[in-house]
Amino acid sequence: MIFQDYVFYALAAILLFAGLRVITTRNPVQAALFLVLAFFTAAGIWLLLEAEFLAIVLVLVYVGAVMVLFLFVVMMLDINLDKLREGFWDYAPLAGFVGVLMALEMVMVLGSKHFGYSAPEKHGADYSNTAELGRLLYTDYVYPFEIASVVLLVAIIAAIALTLRRRAGTKHNDPAKQVRVKRADRIRMVSMPAEKDEPAEGEQK
Amino acid sequence: MMNNAITYDLIAALPEIFVLCMAMVVLLVSLFLSARTLYVSYILTQVTLLGAAFITVSTHIPAVGYAFNGMFVDDPLSDILKLMIYLGTSMVLVYSRSYIALRGMYRGEFFALVLFAMLGMMIMVSGQHFLTLYMGLELLSLCLYSLVALDRDNPRSTEAAMKYFVLGALASGMLLYGMSMIYGATGALELSQINAALFNGMADRSVLILGLVFVVAGVAFKLGAVPFQMWLPDVYHGAPTAVTLLVGSVPKFAAFAFVIRLLIQGLQVLTVDWQGMLIVMAVLSISIGNITAIAQTNLKRMLAYSTISHIGFLLFGFLSGSMNGYISSMFYISAYVLMTLGGFGMILLLSRKGFEAENLDDFKGLNQRSPWYAFLMLLLMFSMAGVPPTLGFYAKFTVLQAALQAGFVSLVIFAVLMAAVGAFYYLRIVKLMYFDEPQDHAPITPSPDMALVLGINGMAILILGLMPQRLMELCAYAIAHSLQ
């Protein structure tokens, strides 16, 4: 039990440090990598909470897919950092004040004495977190689950509608046309009578 | 037993399922249409709205029914709001058809996104669970963000879409954070369970209030109440007018339902706490909205600030905390949507290829160009200002009456004074239309369907203002049979 506490505090400390570095580091690639670290430690904390499936999904989806995409974008775009940081110190005092105020409020309200829950009971080794999540998702929560799929569909439609352009003059091929093409479209067979005798070299001049 | 429950779920959500299927049909059919035959998508969309209205009417019963394990509610309030949403969306499409055709936005995605946005509103209206309410809101918002950006070569639209997206994401975050606090305090996500937990007094108060603050902030952002109104003028101004028409009108029904579900059905025990927050927002919205609108020269921006002040009046109905107040709020939101549709419809009417009639000067001398449309605009402006006998007067009157009954005398006096300030900028348009020389002499040639619907819209404001009983009874029926 005491060992788990140590693990939790170590992971929490790394998570806080990584989160802080994400917003303070000057290099966007480093910021993205710190975010990866934050995701990993968060997954570790979820493992301690017996949410194994969610922890693995967090690593697979966020680290494996989202962050890789993110790094690609960061590396491909030429981001001017000085322009992004313009006005940072102008807003810093006000933002800091509001931030500290909100943090204090949360500390006051979110202590354990306000939440009257005892620790949940431990499950045995044969308990399947994944099966339980799946059962809930496809029975009790099937309605929001379906709505989530519609939201994803709308995201696809919107992304395509906003970015797909047909510019005049681009040299792209239409695969359907390419497949349907026949020999007759490309080659014109012309029957010509063969020349009887070839003129000699010097005669034309 | 199990099968019956599933059958009931599907019947209760039949309008949503129908709209979802038809949105995908519209999307697919549009792929096979050329620019000349794209009117088929438009007709399909209108048929969808008609079909959804038919399904909603035929499955209507004056009782509250829950489906999907209490995540979905089918009550008279949701049915009537859905019917209003179909009607409003249909009018939006009629008004915007020629506008989007002239600006290269007449594509299948436009109609599909409008239908998906409407699906989001329907889900919000029928939401009975934090998750469904939130998912519906996200579906609606995502469609609106992309619709604002749809005119993608226009830098102003892109900027508006970006602002809307970033601020909207922030507001969603606040809303979710507040919801998680309330979940932590009550242990429930379903609204009736939350209400029951609060009623038993088991929840910790300080956590609840923190959650409530964030929830109210999130809701206020979506409504556009001060101090969460920054996005509204920029989005209204930057978006293509056809999309502004959509953003400004029908989603307010969904936002109204959102407030009813969250604050009144879920957090009724905390009425005293949210009442205070709503009072501050209502007073600020009415004063800042009306005073800033005076300085605007762009009609779309002016209508945005006018929206902020209308939202302030809407909050007056909520903060009175009585059944009467909620009924008057519903009446007010219906009147507001009708007026907004007409107002932006007039801008669309006067716009033509390469020209946006969005400045106040474009309305100069409208009476000489077309006395009939000048008269319709006069009715709309009188109604927004709250001049009797138009619909807007009666709406303001009922809302303030409810607040007066709840004992907010000084607030009501303040609101009336601010409404008088607001009358200035509405009547200025009337003056421009009737007493100034026209700068623009282009003939006004709307399509017959638009002329007909706009005429009915304008006259409805006068007729409903003279005879508000039927609409009032409808609102009273919806609220009384849904809130116990």
This complex has an ipTM of: 0.92
Q: What is the mean pLDDT of residues B165-186?
A: 93
Chain A stretch 72-131, residues whose beta carbon is closer than 8 A to a beta carbon of chain B: 105-106, 108-110, 114-117
Domain boundary (A80, A103, A118) is at A80
Q: What is the mean pLDDT of residues B234-245?
A: 94
Q: Which has more pLDDT, B168 or A200?
A: B168
Query: B206–A108: do the CB atoms touch at under 8 Å?
Result: yes
Helices (H), B39-129: 39-58, 76-102, 108-125
Q: What is the mean pLDDT of residues B430-450?
A: 88
A60 interface with B at CB cutoff 8 Å: no
Q: Which of A191-200, B168-177, B212-221, B432-441 has the lowest mean pLDDT?
A: A191-200
Query: A162–B152: do the CB atoms touch at under 8 Å?
Result: yes
Domain ranges, residue A151: 129-163
User: Per the structure block, which two tokens stand in for B267?
Assistant: 């957090």
CA distance B429 to B415: 22
Residue of B nearest to A107 (CA): B207
Residue of A nearest to B152 (CA): A162
8 A C-beta contact, residue B123 and residue A147: yes
Whether A52 is covered by a domain: the verdict is yes
CA distance B411 to B416: 9
Using CB atoms within 10 Å of the CB of residue A149, give its burial: 0 to 12 exposed, 13 to 18 middle, 19+ buried: exposed
Among B2, B9, B19, B138, the residue to mutate for chain A (most A Cβ within 10 A): B138
User: Per the structure block, which two tokens stand in for B442?
Assistant: 């282009």
Contacts of A108 in chain B (CB under 8 A): 206
Q: What pLDDT digit, counting tens, does each position of B116-151 carry?
A: 999 999 999 999 999 999 999 999 999 999 999 998
3-state secondary structure B141-163: HHHHHHHHCCCCCCHHHHHHHHH
**What is the reported pLDDT for B439?**
84
Q: What is the CATH number of the domain that holds A3?
A: 1.20.120.1200
User: Per the structure block, which two tokens stand in for B472?
Assistant: 């009032």
Give me the phi and psi of A116, to 5 degrees please.
-85, 50
End-to-end CA distance of chain B: 27
User: Per the structure block, which two tokens stand in for B269?
Assistant: 């025990």
- DSSP per residue, A68-106: HHHHHHHHHS---HHHHTTTHHHHHHHHHHHHHHHHHHH
For residue B1, is pLDDT > 50? no
**Between A and B, how many residue pairs show a Cβ–Cβ distance under 8 A?**
79
Q: What is the mean pLDDT of residues B251-266?
A: 94
CA distance B288 to B285: 5
Among A98, A101, A105, A114, the residue to mutate for chain B (most B Cβ within 10 A): A114
B265-282: string of b/e by CB count within 10 Å (b at 16+)? bbbbbbeebbbebbbebb
A64 and A7 in one domain? yes
Residue of B nearest to A161 (CA): B109
B15-27: string of b/e by CB count within 10 Å (b at 16+)? bbbbbbebbbbbb
Q: What is the mean pLDDT of residues B56-77?
A: 91
Whether A108 is covered by a domain: the verdict is no
Residues 6+ apart with CB under 8 A from B443: B369
**What is the reported pLDDT for B444?**
86
8 A C-beta contact, residue B143 and residue B92: no
Q: What pLDDT digit, counting tens, does each position of A150-183 carry?
A: 999 999 999 999 888 777 677 777 888 888 888 8
CA distance B279 to B318: 9
Q: Which has more pLDDT, A85 or B216?
A: B216
Query: B109–A114: do the CB atoms touch at under 8 Å?
Result: no
Would you give the DSSP letter of residue A58?
I
A1 and A60 in one domain? yes
B17 interface with A at CB cutoff 8 Å: no
CA distance B132 to B66: 13
Whether A32 is covered by a domain: the verdict is yes
User: Per the structure block, which two tokens stand in for A26?
Assistant: 């000057």
Query: How many domains does chain A contain in total?
Result: 2
Contacts of B119 in chain A (CB under 8 A): 150
Contacts of A144 in chain B (CB under 8 A): 71, 129, 131-132, 135
For residue A188, is pLDDT > 60? yes
Whether A25 is covered by a domain: the verdict is yes
End-to-end CA distance of chain A: 106
Residue of A nearest to B71 (CA): A143
User: Per the structure block, which two tokens stand in for A51?
Assistant: 């949410």
**What is the reported pLDDT for B202?**
74
